[in-house]
Amino acid sequence: MSANVLATVLGLVVAFLFALSAFYQQRAARNTHRQHKSVAAAAVALMSALVRDRTWLQGWLFNLTGFGVQALALHIGSVIAVQPMLAAQLLFALPMSSLEQRVWPRMRDWLGAASLCAGLVVLILVVHVRPTEGEPDRGRILLASVAVVAAILVSIPIASRIGPGALVLAAGTCAGLCFAMTAVFIKLTGDDLVNHGVASTARDWVGYALACSTAAGLVLGQGAFANGPLPWAVATKETANPIASYAIGVLAFPVVFPTGNATLLGISVAGALVVIGAVALAHSPSVEIWLRRREDQAAHAVS
């Protein structure tokens, strides 16, 4: 078995572990979710409960294992062999969520999930996955960070007023944005450690930004899990992450935006597949069943 084939197989294992982690974390998050007067109070209450929840901690262990296997896969093979496989998380998360509801995914669900995953794979292959090479423009990275913070501060309060469906989409998207920034900060922090040492890294703002973006992505991801079906949360987070990663890479690193006809066609096809998949999942019959059961449980709890 060649190195890239083995790395691809490990990439699928990583996708399964991340999906399993999301499944356990969503089970814990939705069971601990309560109404609060403010978004901040809800987030604090949710995380305070989750860190003491055995189911959530099991999910976190699967997540850590996934990161370990991902590191091994990237060590064995190329990034192109590993990263596209991570889009398969949705294909694993969909049956996990449906089986818990005792409803097998319908053909429309599978086609929507497959379309979205195919779009992400095409996008990652076309744009060569997170083009963060070369000397970065830290001013532009700071600008991107401010834009992400502004998106969170604006979208989350508005979505919380609209309802759980809007909140899961907003929180999942913002979590993806945060993890995209985390990827950039990891590169900058790693460069600091290698080139300037620990003392210089400790004085650099990017290390603290890395901690903040990771923590924010974690909290927002749990908020998405708490407010809607697992496929919605996984789809929005995993769609926003690679798209934002590439946009930030083009903005802040010396990478030329692709202009070739074949590349632009690939990006257009990827965008169309993602949109088709997202629309199909948003109107999935299985998701509608999940939402009805959630409403029945809420009504029963009130009565």
* Domain boundary assignment for the chain: 87-302
pLDDT score at 131: 47
Tell me the one-letter amino acid at 29.
A
* Residue appearing with tokens 């060649």: 2
Each of the 303 residues of the chain gets a pLDDT tens digit; together they read 577 678 778 888 988 998 899 889 988 887 775 555 567 777 788 888 888 889 999 999 998 998 888 878 867 876 566 767 777 888 888 788 777 767 677 787 788 888 888 887 787 777 654 444 557 788 888 999 999 999 999 999 999 888 877 888 899 999 999 988 888 888 788 777 877 777 777 888 888 998 999 999 999 999 888 887 888 888 888 888 878 877 887 787 766 666 677 777 887 888 888 878 877 776 666 666 666 666 665 555 555
Query: pTM for the whole thing?
Result: 0.79
- pLDDT of 184 reads 82
State the Cα torsion 167-170-176-179 to the nearest 10°: -80
Of 114, 135, 122, 96, which is closest to residue 265 (Cα–Cα)?
Answer: 122
- pLDDT at residue number 21: 92
Whether the CA torsion 285, 63, 85, 8 is positive or negative: it is: negative
Query: Alpha-carbon distance 5 to 169, whole Å?
Result: 34
Instruction: State the CB neighbour count (10 A cutoff) for residue 143.
Output: 14
